[in-house]
């Protein structure tokens, strides 16, 4: 019996390996639009796809980021300035994409733009702190997708949304985890709706990676800014030691974060170029061996792990 089971499992993985190695034809004729290309995953993916021969339309937040990327890549890669929190900026970028793609449509849309801070215990934050992250990570993703969806449908292409392992297990207060849970839900509903049109939707769930968004000094500065404007009652309840613990925890964790961004961008590339992309891609060993298994554990167990590993408030029971 066990032999038959092993054979079946082996055949399943062999078939999956074979299917996932099949590549879409005529990649050099296909356009891919990527948000958040100033640095990090978006910048790396734009370079990677350009070297692969695809026609990359890279959206950057700043002219400096666009110029640096454009100067280092081939003539196929073109850039546009995009702020995903502004409807007029999205509309202008959409018109720009239409002019470039013409009747071919847009083969790939990669919603990569995102921010991490302000992140802190919820009671330290304001509604505006939550909205700052949600406007970029979730509402920006939704509006860009809705704006470009007709072009993706025309090409029967792909939508790739960058979520996070923190869209499965909420370890942090603030809007980041909320935004990534929202990206997961939006992507799931979108995938089911667009399957009727031959459009495939994939979700990328990276673990912790070293990018400009996760530099230690940004964490420290972000925590300090939130703490400085917290109410006296909040400061008394949580205490300076808890603030120091948060700052110290980022210093301890940072050396263990992966700097190999290609682990993530390889997943993105596969989602765009494979004939049979996966629904979800987990990138990084922490995602595969820690956070993904935790997302299937009982809430009681996960709560206990987070409770004992988190900094303690000054007036905790």
Q: How far apart are CA 244 and CA 254, in angstroms?
A: 16
* H-helix or E-strand spanning residue 158: strand 158-162
Q: How far apart are CA 286 and CA 256, in angstroms?
A: 10
Residue 195: exposure state from Cβ atoms within 10 A (0-12, 13-18, ≥19): exposed
Are 145 and 159 in contact, with CB atoms under 8 Å apart? yes
Residue 23: exposure state from Cβ atoms within 10 A (0-12, 13-18, ≥19): exposed
Q: How far apart are CA 44 and CA 94, in angstroms?
A: 22
Which pair of structure tokens corresponds to residue 226? 């939130």
Angle between helices 216-228 and 240-253 (to 10 degrees): 170
Peptide bond into 307 cis (omega under 30): no
**Active site residues per annotation:** 176
Q: How far apart are CA 229 and CA 203, in angstroms?
A: 36
Measure CA of the first residue to CA of the last residue in the chain; give whole Å.
53
Residue 253: exposure state from Cβ atoms within 10 A (0-12, 13-18, ≥19): middle
Our CA dihedral for 201, 86, 50, 23, rounded to 10 degrees, sits at 10
């Amino acid at each position: 019996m066990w032999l038959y089971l092993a054979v079946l499992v082996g055949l399943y993985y062999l078939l999956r390996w074979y299917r996932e190695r099949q590549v879409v034809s005529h990649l050099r004729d296909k356009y891919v639009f990527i948000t958040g290309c100033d640095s990090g995953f978006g910048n790396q993916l734009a370079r990677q796809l350009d070297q692969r021969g695809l026609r990359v339309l890279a959206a950057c937040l700043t002219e400096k980021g666009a110029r640096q990327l454009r100067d280092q890549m081939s003539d196929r890669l073109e850039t546009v300035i995009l702020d995903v929190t502004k409807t007029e900026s999205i509309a202008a970028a959409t018109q720009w994409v239409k002019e470039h793609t013409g009747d071919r449509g847009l083969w790939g849309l990669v919603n990569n733009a995102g921010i991490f801070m302000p992140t802190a215990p919820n009671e330290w934050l304001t509604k505006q702190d939550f909205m700052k992250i949600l406007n970029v990570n979730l509402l920006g993703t939704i509006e860009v997708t809705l704006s470009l969806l007709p072009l993706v449908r025309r090409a029967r292409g792909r939508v790739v949304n960058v979520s996070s392992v923190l869209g499965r297990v909420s370890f942090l207060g603030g809007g980041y985890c909320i935004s990534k849970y929202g990206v997961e839900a939006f992507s799931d509903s979108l995938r089911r709706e667009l399957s009727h049109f031959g459009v495939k939707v994939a979700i990328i769930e990276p673990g912790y990676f070293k990018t400009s968004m996760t530099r230690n000094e940004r964490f420290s500065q972000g925590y300090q800014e939130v703490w400085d404007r917290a109410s006296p009652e909040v400061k008394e309840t949580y205490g300076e030691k808890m603030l120091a613990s948060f700052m110290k925890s980022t210093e301890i964790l940072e050396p263990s974060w992966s700097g190999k961004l290609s682990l993530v961008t390889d997943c993105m590339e596969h989602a765009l170029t494979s004939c049979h992309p996966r629904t979800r891609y987990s990138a990084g060993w922490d995602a595969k061996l820690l956070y993904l298994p935790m997302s299937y554990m009982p809430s009681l167990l996960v709560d206990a792990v987070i409770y004992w590993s988190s900094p303690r408030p000054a007036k905790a029971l």
